[in-house]
Structure 1
Amino acid sequence: MLQDFKNFLFPQLCACCETALLKDEKLICTFCRNELPLYPNFFDGDHDLHKILYGRVLLNQAASLFYFEKKGIVQNLIHDLKYKGNEGLSYHLGEWLGELLVASKWKIKIDVVLPVPLHKQRFRERGYNQVEGFGKAIAEKLSAIYNDTLLKRRSNSKTQVFKNRLARTEVVTNHFYVEGQAILSGKTILLVDDLVTTGATLEACYLALKTAGVDSLNIATIAVSK
């Protein structure tokens, strides 16, 4: 009864539409859950990530939970995750995708799950990495190790500004690097991120990981742009 009273005074809101959640709803209301644009055949050889990263990243398997469109419902979801402190949403979405991956019986056994890292300043501002829970939940579902200490980010600049090959080399040198390279050598890696648009950040991470002996990547994201 006390919890019901608290919920009346301070109702939990849907991460997509900000309406008050009903008693049995968790993080996302039933209406929005049914409206979310799930990625069709959420992982396959013709995934949009293969097209976005073609010729830039040696990509094995790719998976995304949602399609992303500007001013769409998934934009609201990711905004809530990144800027409104809804940290629990990250783990919830990771469980969702992780269960789909297990049900699909991924052909490749994942050894280590790595999140795309935040710069220390951004982490202090936000208080958490928005893909931490997402990665941890997927790692648990796939019986893999989650590690957020190996892949590091030096700069707080947006990697999307780097477009040519020379600039991408600069991204690796100045933005991402790997600590403890021997740990990753020969391992099957799953890199996780929230949203992919140009693929520049994933490419930069791949090039940094490549120096640590990671020949190819598997990638899982919350959403990918149409």
Structure 2
Amino acid sequence: MSFINTCFKKAIVIKTIFHSVSHILFPHLCNGCGSDLISGEHLLCIQCAGQLYETGFAAAEDNPVEKAMWGRLRSVSGMSQYYFSKGSLFQQLVHQVKYKSNKELGIYLGKLMGSALAASSRFQSVDALVPLPLFPDKERKRGYNQSAIICEGLASAMQLPVLYNLVERIRYTDTQTHKTRMERWQNVEGVFIARPNAIAEGKHLLLVDDVITTGATIEACGNAMLEDLRGIRLSFATLAYANA
């Protein structure tokens, strides 16, 4: 018995040394403030995690993003997980996911949103996830689609399939940043088409994007899906809500 205890203690010491050396060579830093992460923290320190302000929209019927789409998109439910404001920590995190190839962070935030959706009765009937597509040239240049990365996290938390190629963006568009509401709508009008797919027919699909501001992009893509895909029901979810 003493031999087993000795071996067990040695194993603990070796494991501790390994983690210490690993942390020196590959430090685990907070994606928000850059500080060292301690045991139990993942990607964000507890202080930065406390600065992610949840909207509560997953459980709230007639929430602000749903109201914003009234008369524009025939959707079952809609939500955004976090509030987004200029200069905020969450804007910094979204920037990392969208432009800095921080896929691990995107998946992690997607899992957090997926947990909220899975706990809400309003999204229990969703059959599959659909990432809002980028124009192919833009996706090739960036190397990934941030909405698809978020969907990876959602799929893990909700145990749902992702339909990656169901919708196509057929025209390049300028960034929506700094555009007025009307300019945003004009910028994405007629940009999306959905490919008829027997797997999607009659299903409840959840359209996923990173940030919703005026809702012009969700509106354009969602209406293309409703027009091109037979018998579907549509809901939408975004990681962040930026009240324009």
Flag whether TM exceeds 0.5 (same fold): yes
Question: Which residue of 148, 154, 173 corresponds with 1:132?
Answer: 148
Partner of 1:163: 182
Partner of 2:219: 203
Distance 1:95 1:35 in 2: 17
Structure 1 residues 176, 22: CA separation in 2 closer, same or farther (over 3 Å shift)? same
Could you say what secondary structure the match of 1:27 adopts? coil
Q: Does 1:99 align with 2:118?
A: no
Structure 1 residues 159, 49: CA separation in 2 closer, same or farther (over 3 Å shift)? farther
TM-score, normalization by structure 1 = 0.86
Question: Which residue of 43, 59, 64 corresponds with 1:43?
Answer: 59
| Letter of the 2:49 counterpart | R
Q: Residues 1-226 of structure 1: matches in 2 within 5 Å?
A: 1-106=17-122, 108-158=124-174, 160=176, 163=182, 167=186, 171-172=189-190, 175-212=191-228, 213=230, 216-226=233-243
Contiguous gaps of at least 5 residues in structure 2: 1-16
Distance 2:206 2:133 in 1: 14
Q: CA deviation at 1:71?
A: 0.6
Q: CA deviation at 1:69?
A: 0.6
> After superposition, what is the alpha-carbon deviation per residue over 1:92-143, rounded to whole angstroms, capped at 9, x for unaligned?
1121122222222335411121000112222222222112232133234333
Structure 1 residues 159, 187: CA separation in 2 closer, same or farther (over 3 Å shift)? farther
Structure 1 residues 107, 83: CA separation in 2 closer, same or farther (over 3 Å shift)? closer
Distance 1:177 1:107 in 2: 24
The count of residues paired between Structure 1 and Structure 2 equals 223
Contiguous gaps of at least 5 residues in structure 1: none
For the pair shown, the structure with the greater C-alpha radius of gyration is 2
Q: Percent identity, please.
A: 32
- RMSD, aligned CA: 2.6
Contact 2:65 2:78 in 1 (8 A): yes
Contact 1:196 1:223 in 2 (8 A): yes
TM-score, normalization by structure 2 = 0.80
Contact 1:43 1:64 in 2 (8 A): no
Contact 1:16 1:80 in 2 (8 A): no
